[in-house]
Amino acid sequence: MTQKATTVYQSDPAMSRNKLRRSLILGENGYSCGKSCLMVKCKPASRKAFSRAQRIKQVEQEGKVIIEKLELGPFASNCYIVGAESNPEAIIIDPGAEANEILKKVEDLGLEIKFIMLTHGHVDHVGALKEVKEATDAEVAIHADDAESLQKKPFSTMFGLSYPSPPPPDRLLKGGDSIDVGDLHFLVLHTPGHTSGGICLMGEGVLFSGDTLFNFGIGRFDLPGGSGRQLMNSIHTKLMILPDNTVVYPGHGPETTIGTERQGNPFLRS
């Protein structure tokens, strides 16, 4: 990475150990959800686990970085608001549903959203895009290969969901692009397999993995545009080369680390 791409993420060793321990504990049970989830071979579980009342909300403040996780909508999709204490400029990753909740949190945190980053074009990650875009006037960025799905919305009918049509994206991403927001810098990793235009977003020490890699799971690859061979190639060549202590924030379920997945993810064993 160039000097410009150096991030300001600062990890507190104690926090990292706690987080790792929590990941390991959660990993024992794995992440599970209803049969229509977008993860491959997850355990059967009750929807109740992700009811509104039980929704996990989490604010993590590690040094200069704020990572707010909101678990939203019928697919319990993770939306992340990422900013820095040193600068109000921030990003939203995957506004999947419940725009009001996302916007309220942004306001509470006093952040100014510059980019709405989409890890891919599935409805459970873009359902609140139109409202969030209109309210923030932030630039919408998605990989070029998933951009069409914003307009065609092929998955909304498949999963019986409807949502307002978003405007065309402002920026088409490709692997290797860097996103600079305030004091934060991110690198776009193109990780096709769950969808052809799926991306992961990397900052120093953190990875937002969309539906490519989960806590003890991987993304489904049987949907249109999916490919198991591509998915495994993406995970092995783009993600498993990252340091063990990289904290992974997936599109569904709890966070994990690259090291935890390298050791224990049953789908990564050859």
Catalog residues that contact Zn ion under the rule CB under 5 A.
38, 122, 124, 211, 251
Return the number of the residue (83 or 253) whose C-beta is nearest Zn ion: 253
Distance CA 121, CA 219 (A): 14
Return the number of the residue (9 or 75) whose C-beta is nearest Zn ion: 75
Return the number of the residue (7 or 196) whose C-beta is nearest Zn ion: 196
Give the closest residue to 181 by CA, choosing from 221, 141, 218.
Answer: 141
- How many Cβ atoms from other residues are within 10 Å of residue 160's Cβ? 9
Q: CA 252, 253, 259, 263 torsion: positive or negative?
A: negative
Q: Minimum distance between the CB of residue 252 and Zn ion, rounded to whole angstroms? A: 6
Return the number of the residue (76 or 187) whose C-beta is nearest Zn ion: 76
Q: Minimum distance between the CB of residue 251 and Zn ion, rounded to whole angstroms? A: 5
Give the closest residue to 181 by CA, choosing from 12, 66, 97.
Answer: 66
Q: Minimum distance between the CB of residue 78 and Zn ion, rounded to whole angstroms? A: 8
CB 246 within 8 A of CB 207: yes
Instruction: Supply φ then ψ for residue 148, to 5 degrees.
Output: -65, -30
Give the closest residue to 34 by CA, choosing from 69, 76, 70, 72.
Answer: 76
Distance CA 13, CA 19 (A): 10
Return the number of the residue (9 or 221) whose C-beta is nearest Zn ion: 221
Return the number of the residue (83 or 251) whose C-beta is nearest Zn ion: 251
Given 3-state DSSP classes, what are the helix, strand and coil percentages for the chain, each rounded to the nearest 5? 30, 30, 40
Q: Minimum distance between the CB of residue 189 and Zn ion, rounded to whole angstroms? A: 16
Q: Minimum distance between the CB of residue 75 and Zn ion, rounded to whole angstroms? A: 6
Q: Pairing relation of β-strands 139-143 and 171-173?
A: parallel
Q: Minimum distance between the CB of residue 5 and Zn ion, rounded to whole angstroms? A: 27
